[in-house]
Chains A and B, each alone.
Chain A
Amino acid sequence: AQSVTQLDSQVPVFEEAPVELRCNYSSSVSVYLFWYVQYPNQGLQLLLKYLSGSTLVKGINGFEAEFNKSQTSFHLRKPSVHISDTAEYFCAVSGAGAGGTSYGKLTFGQGTILTVHP
């Protein structure tokens, strides 16, 4: 079984400032890691994912995340945020090696609401 902890429920930041949203996970097996963004009353959109290979992954909208196996973390970063980045962000994991259907069976964190102020 896996669990995900997002360390901050809310992160306020000013426009053009850098931001880091923290995510730690726990698992007894190897995992795939994901960050999703959810705008109000919308579905979940994939920002980026780590499956294997380079531990620094780049996603859409200028976001990137680094997988740290020793610290079991997958923190999301953006060097300069925009007003339009205001949304809720979810970190999620799935068990690796469980077959192709494992990509969609996700355990989510509690979410971090990012609010970008002008």
Chain B
Amino acid sequence: AAGVIQSPRHLIKEKRETATLKCYPIPRHDTVYWYQQGPGQDPQFLISFYEKMQSDKGSIPDRFSAQQFSDYHSELNMSSLELGDSALYFCASSWTGGANTEAFFGQGTRLTVV
């Protein structure tokens, strides 16, 4: 079965650079969620999109922005990168049309800022 695809899997950037993370949800899923998991930390909710509109916002820094496109894939844009942005970034997707739906997580993108 198709899963949530994230690219790239690994990314190394220097301080003050920008990074773009991509997420391709499971086909027919209409909602995408972004999470940040720092080293030894639990995942923290950043932002979510439903039908291409922002549906909820968590602890996302102002330097980050995200959007969901017409094909439902999503991109997380991160500017002025800081060392503390080094983390595993997860994308998850779900379909709101079902009665007992759940969020399916991708493998994550490991961002290292040097």
Q: Do A and B come from one complex?
A: yes
Q: How many A-B residue pairs have CB under 8 A?
A: 68
B105 at the interface (CB under 8 A from A): yes
The total of chain A residues at the interface (CB under 8 A) is 23
Specify the chain B residue showing the minimal Cβ separation from A102: B56
Q: What are 22 A-to-B residue pairs whose CB atoms are below 8 Å?
A: A43-B90, A43-B105, A44-B105, A46-B103, A46-B104, A49-B102, A51-B100, A90-B43, A100-B94, A100-B95, A100-B96, A101-B48, A101-B55, A101-B94, A101-B96, A103-B94, A104-B48, A105-B45, A106-B43, A106-B103, A108-B42, A108-B43
Q: Which positions in A face B, CB cutoff 8 Å?
A: 34, 36, 41-46, 49, 51, 90, 99-101, 103-111
Q: Which positions in B face A, CB cutoff 8 Å?
A: 4, 31, 33, 35, 41-45, 48, 50, 55-56, 58, 90, 92-98, 100-108, 110
